[in-house]
Amino acid sequence: MALTFSHNKLEIDQQLYKLVVDKVLPDLNIESDHLWTSLQKILEAFMPRNADLLETRDNLQKQIDDWHIQHKNTEHSLKEYKQFLKDINYIVDEGDDFQISTENVDAEIKTIAGPQLVVPINNARFALNATNARWGSLFDAFYGTDVIPNEGELAKGNSHNPLRGQRVVALANEFLDSALPLTEGKHSMVSAYSLIDSGTSKTLQIILDNGHIAELKHTDAFIAYSEEGSCYSLLFKHNELHIEIQIDPCSLIGKTMLSGIKDVILESAISTIQDCEDSVTAVDAEDKTLVYKNWLGLMKGNLEDNFEKNGKAFKRQLNADREYITTDGKPLSLSGRSLLLVRNVGHLMTTDAITYEGENIPEGILDGFITALSFLHDYNGNSPYKNSAAKSMYIVKPKMHGPDEVLFTVDLFAAIEDAIALPRNTLKIGIMDEERRTTVNLKECIRQAQERLIFINTGFLDRTGDEIHTSMEAGAFLPKAELKDQPWIKAYEDWNVDIGIACGLPRKAQIGKGMWAMPDLMADMVKSKIQHPLAGANCAWVPSPTAATLHVMHYHQVNVAHVQNELAHRVTASLDDILTIPLAPKERTQFADEIVDCLDNNAQSILGYVVRWIDQGVGCSKVPDTRHVGLMEDRATLRISSQIIANWYHHKLCSEEQVIQSFKKMAVFVDEQNSHDPSYTPMAPDFTGIAFQAALDLALKGCAQPNGYTEPLLHAYRRKQKLIDNNIH
């Protein structure tokens, strides 16, 4: 049995207790007794409310299930269905128009549009890499990805390929021509970028290869510089984003160019969500303590990770700020790190890291309390680095269903602020619009958080999983690949932006879009992800620091503020379209081969992710699909895949035996895909392992899972596997 520390009605796991008392509380002027007493008061006030909200979810789901069952043999009436949802308070009455009033928000949230990373916080190296991805090399991003085909004379090879390097420079010059156009010529024609000292200030002189002097079309774009010997950097600003041109005629690249350019550095990952939720495997007190330890290290500025790669030892730590001199001679310091948000877990799960009167407490309450407590180090200036210049903490809250659940979170944040002496509304909230009841009530959800709101976003995977589960009894859904082409999803994406703009989010908060899930297909991302800023999103998720450097080019091409101004005048997306359930036509159910193929694809997706989750404790990784294309997967992928199989099984499009056979077939396939991993445990040929059973249960028992969530089964099976592993070792 785990060792615990007792405090009144609380039992606190010893690992968590030692972290808080020995590492968090010093320098905060908070007594341990006061802290635990305050937490107990919060639990006494909010645990019953949390339970009531979960009961409301279940009651609403039962009423919706019953309605669909009762209307099974009648033609679906959208009008009647919408009225029914209003009658049961699934859709609430909409109030008057309003504008959010959030104050003390950093520019990275308010005014800078750009890429956003999401990273599992339990992996210190990943957490540090993402935080340090505020600045990225455009040359490296081009050279190392398929933006330039890795074939023929342009192939990367085992050493630097000068032909590939020339293509890198050409692409970088094309970018500079777009973001920093010249009055004459192009950047490829520049023979020198020179700093001219005019006494009280410095100006930029651009000399072309024909001897002509060119200027920037927007002369105020050049804002600062730095110098070190014969090397120097020029800093520009465009669309609120910084571009740094590094000049070093002696470098490998610089000596091949007339201008001596060594690299182009782009301000890339403007913000990063450090994730405690879908991308981590935190199933017990040990796991939660690691999550909190890493967040604390980021807030105190001392998080480090030592590792070995190719026989060499490396240390990863936070990047320092970047120092420049402005054109009029003043020092300029820019953050070397992405602005950090933290994603707490939702309302569903409980944790044994702390118990109250012997009962596991809601994990979301503990997340809010401990992450906010650690944030005090940033708030009080106890770190050599500053995360929030506005002295705010940004908490993304997922999986909330409707306005009452948002209000619960707002009230919880207020109680935490009181407990640790933070000013009201210091703890800001990001609402993830990924549950159907939040979508249809988005305006009222925002209203509840209008003094704290800094973020709304859309996410196809979780939102589709909830769409399927909510309408499970309505009928068989279309295959997963076809759901993106249905009216409801476009309406949902547009609705989120429309409501966000109408509620005053522009220049105050982020409107976000979802992940590009294929980290190896950067050429495709560069071609297509410009659609996110064009849709009015001032942030969108990317799977890696390199992807952030490439995606940020889109925010130089598109001025999102201008797009949002234009979109403010369009007709709001249709709620009726959002409520149109994407069911398969009945004749589609006769295509047995199609069903088998879809079963295999979904089973492979589930198995490829779950086997790492259960056996290795990996909550976010690049999982190859049936075409061997690597996809960045987290629990959202699992939710949609398990729910589509559960839906088809429930409506007898496939039998239990078909599902089992598909999982066995694809387990062999997944084993082959992981044959290179010495730590991998094959699922075939006996199919009796815990990971295989967990994956199968997610599909066959999917209808019974609360709102289709995967956490209850995953946590139970992972804990079982950890117990076995600990007994072995």
Q: Please say which residue of 239, 267, 295 terminates a domain.
A: 267
634 catalytically annotated: yes
The pLDDT value recorded for residue 310 is 83
Among 106, 287, 494, 634, the one annotated catalytic: 634
What gap in Å lies between CA 393 and CA 397, rounded to an integer? 13
To the query of whether residue 466 is one of the catalytic residues in this protein, the response is no
Asked whether residue 162 falls in the same domain as residue 186, the answer is yes
**Cα separations in angstroms, 148 against 133, 556, 586:** 22, 20, 45
Q: How many CB atoms lie within 10 A of CB 673?
A: 19
> What total number of domains does the chain contain?
3
Q: Are residues 356 and 486 in the same domain?
A: yes
Q: Which residue has the tokens 């970047």?
A: 322
SS3 210: coil
* Domain's final residue, options 578, 607, 639: 578
The reply to whether 410 and 494 lie within a common domain is: yes
Beta bridge partners of 194: 205
What is the pLDDT, as a whole number, of residue 258? Answer: 86
Q: What is the DSSP string of 631-645?
A: EEE-HHHHHHHHHHH
Q: What is the pTM of this model?
A: 0.97
Instruction: Compute the average pLDDT of residues 496-524.
Output: 97
pLDDT of residue 181: 98
Q: How far apart are CA 103 and CA 80, in angstroms?
A: 42
Average pLDDT over residues 138-160: 96
- Give me 575's structure tokens: 């709620």
pLDDT band at 255 (very low <50, low <70, confident <90, very high): confident
On whether both 348 and 301 belong to a single domain, the answer is yes
Cα separation, 572 vs 280, whole angstroms: 36
Question: Are the C-beta atoms of residues 385 and 421 closer than 8 Å to each other?
Answer: no
pLDDT at 412 over 70: yes
Q: Give the CATH number for residue 275.
A: 3.20.20.360
pLDDT tens-digit map of 171-190: 999 999 999 999 999 999 99
Mean pLDDT of all residues in 439-464: 97
Please state which of the ranges 46-50, 246-250, 307-311, 426-430 shows the lowest mean pLDDT: 307-311
HSE, CB side, 13 Å, CA atoms: give it for residue 86.
9
* Judgement on whether residues 227 and 373 belong to the same structural domain of the protein: no
- The residues with which 7 forms a beta bridge, in sequence order, are 10
* pLDDT score, position 589: 57
The pLDDT of residue 1 is above 60: no
Residue 699 and residue 648 share a domain: yes
Q: Which domain holds residue 481?
A: 82-134+271-322+335-578
CATH number of the domain within which 151 lies: 2.170.170.11
Looking only at the bridges linking them, the beta strands covering 271-275 and 10-13 are: unpaired
pLDDT of residue 590: 59
Whether residue 384 sits in one domain with residue 352: yes
- Considering the domain architecture, whether residues 535 and 595 belong to the same structural domain is answered as no
Assess contact for 358 and 410: CB atoms under 8 A: no
Q: Which of 246, 267, 288 is the last residue of a domain?
A: 267
The counts of H helices and E strands in the chain are 25, 26
Asked whether residue 603 falls in the same domain as residue 667, the answer is yes
Per residue in 462-505, pLDDT (tens digit) is 999 999 999 999 999 999 989 999 999 999 999 999 999 999 99
Statement: residue 591 has pLDDT above 70? no
Q: Which residues contact 102 (CB under 8 A, 6 or more apart)?
A: 425, 428, 450, 451, 452, 453, 454, 508, 509
* Annotated active-site residue in 316, 343, 436, 612: 343
What local confidence, expressed as pLDDT, does residue 586 receive?
79
Say whether both 313 and 421 belong to one domain. Answer: yes
3-state secondary structure 649-668: HHCCCCCHHHHHHHHHHHHH
Q: CA–CA separation, 386 vs 393, rounded Å? A: 12
Judgement on whether residues 148 and 204 belong to the same structural domain of the protein:
yes
